[in-house]
Amino acid sequence: MEEVFLGKQTPQARAAIDQLAGDAGKHLGTAFELLTHVPPQVRPMFPVMNGDYSRWLQTNVRPQKQAGYVIVGTTVPLGDLTCEQMRVIADLAGAYSDSTVRVSADQNLFFRWVRKSDVAELFRRLSAAGLGLAGAEGIADVTSCPGAESCKLAVTQSRGLGRLLGDFLRERQDLVNLAPDLKIKISGCPNGCGRHHVAGLGFQGSVRKLNGRAVPQYFLLVGGGPTDTGVDFGRLAAKIPARRLSETVERLLRLYRSERRPAENATDFFRRVTVQRVKEVVGDLERLTVADALPEDFIDLAESTEFNPEIQEGECSA
């Protein structure tokens, strides 16, 4: 090879040089094509067998009447979004929707005009922003007013209860499967900004005194919700300390499982069941004495100091 390039220009050498130049040109041409060629966009296929995606697809995506499009719901626990998440939402609305986002009464966001072929990628990007939770508008998607966190009229930290019940139910898929569409709503005071009175299970913040000390509690209402002709208000069934409400919800769902009629959903069941029957199931949770009270019973949810409600004059921030 050295002789080829150092001057022995025999016909064989010149042929070898021509061959090398030709081969190099071919390789350079191929490399140039690879560098300048823009491949067609390939939509990443999110693994459909992934459990999180499958659940999200069942609960957060619904068909739109226009062929080829769907409506995609984004679960927003307690309606809280960070600045970064809001920017992501804006970007996704422009990329996959009609550049608008709808807000539901249950504090969630909805994208319309999403192509079916874009759903998997939209889920991937929502998940990357911490917005890929399944169960939008379902039983684990508990809604609450601002409560004592910011409202001068509130008695209790209703958002603390909302977070407690939402986290509890997301860990208990067996309970969610029992009553996936049951509504749970919470208000921190009688004004009812959380619309607890029109929920299948509603909770209204209150206070009781035990040996001179304040205990946060909630009124339990059952059987509220819209009907074909209007709306039913829930019926007061119990007054239960705040720290016992996860167990309250579990017992009520077990009651529904054992005593429902064929094809009866949870909302209709709690509309039908008597207050007396509910009391029989959760009555022992109502009772709280000095002897059995725990230190945490005197601390509101989402707080670290002893419960001391201060109700002030002012407009509700909900």
Contact 101, 93 (CB under 8 A): yes
- Closest to 197 measured CA to CA, from 227, 229, 222, 233: 233
Ramachandran region, residue 296 (left: φ > 0; alpha: ψ -120 to 50; beta: rest): alpha
Check whether 94 has a pLDDT greater than 70.
yes
pLDDT digits (tens, 9 = 90+) for 13-23: 565 556 655 66
- For the segment 256-281, the average pLDDT, to the nearest whole number, is 98
Tell me if 51-128 shares its fold with 143-298: no
Backbone angles phi, psi at 32, to 5 degrees: -65, -40
CA distance 72 to 122: 9
CA distance 217 to 220: 10
Q: Looking at residue 211, what is its pLDDT?
A: 95
CA distance 1 to 219: 94
Long-range CB contacts (within 8 A, 24+) of 237-240: 237/275, 237/278, 237/279, 237/282, 238/278, 238/279, 238/282, 238/283, 238/285, 238/286, 239/206, 239/208, 239/286, 240/282, 240/285, 240/286
309 or 258, which is more confident: 258
| Lowest pLDDT segment from 47-61, 66-80, 130-144, 189-203 | 47-61
CA atoms within 13 A on the CB side of 242: 32
Pure H helices in the chain: 2-5, 11-36, 51-60, 83-96, 119-128, 158-170, 173-178, 245-259, 266-272, 275-286
CA distance 244 to 287: 11
Cα–Cα distances in angstroms (integers) from residue 165 to residues 29, 128, 185, 284, 306, in the given order: 64, 24, 10, 20, 21
Burial class of residue 189, CB neighbours in 10 A (0-12, 13-18, 19+):
buried
Check whether 312 has a pLDDT greater than 80.
no
Angle made by CA atoms 217, 182, 69, in degrees to the nearest 5:
135
- For the segment 159-181, the average pLDDT, to the nearest whole number, is 97
Under the banding of pLDDT at 50, 70 and 90, the label for residue 51 is confident
Sequence length of the chain is 318
The topology under which CATH files domain 51-128 is: Alpha-Beta Plaits (3.30.70)
Contact 185, 198 (CB under 8 A): yes
Cα–Cα distances in angstroms (integers) from residue 138 to residues 1, 142, 199, 288, 302, in the given order: 76, 8, 12, 31, 23
Contact 197, 224 (CB under 8 A): yes
Under the banding of pLDDT at 50, 70 and 90, the label for residue 310 is confident
CA distance 228 to 231: 8
Burial class of residue 99, CB neighbours in 10 A (0-12, 13-18, 19+):
exposed
Check whether 227 has a pLDDT greater than 50.
yes
| In the chain, where the domains are located | 51-128, 143-298
Q: Looking at residue 33, what is its pLDDT?
A: 61
CATH number for 143-298 (one of 3.40.50.300, 3.30.413.10, 2.60.120.10, 1.20.1260.10): it is 3.30.413.10
Contact 191, 156 (CB under 8 A): no
pLDDT digits (tens, 9 = 90+) for 193-212: 999 999 999 999 999 999 99
Q: What predicted TM-score, i.e. pTM, was given to this entire model?
A: 0.81
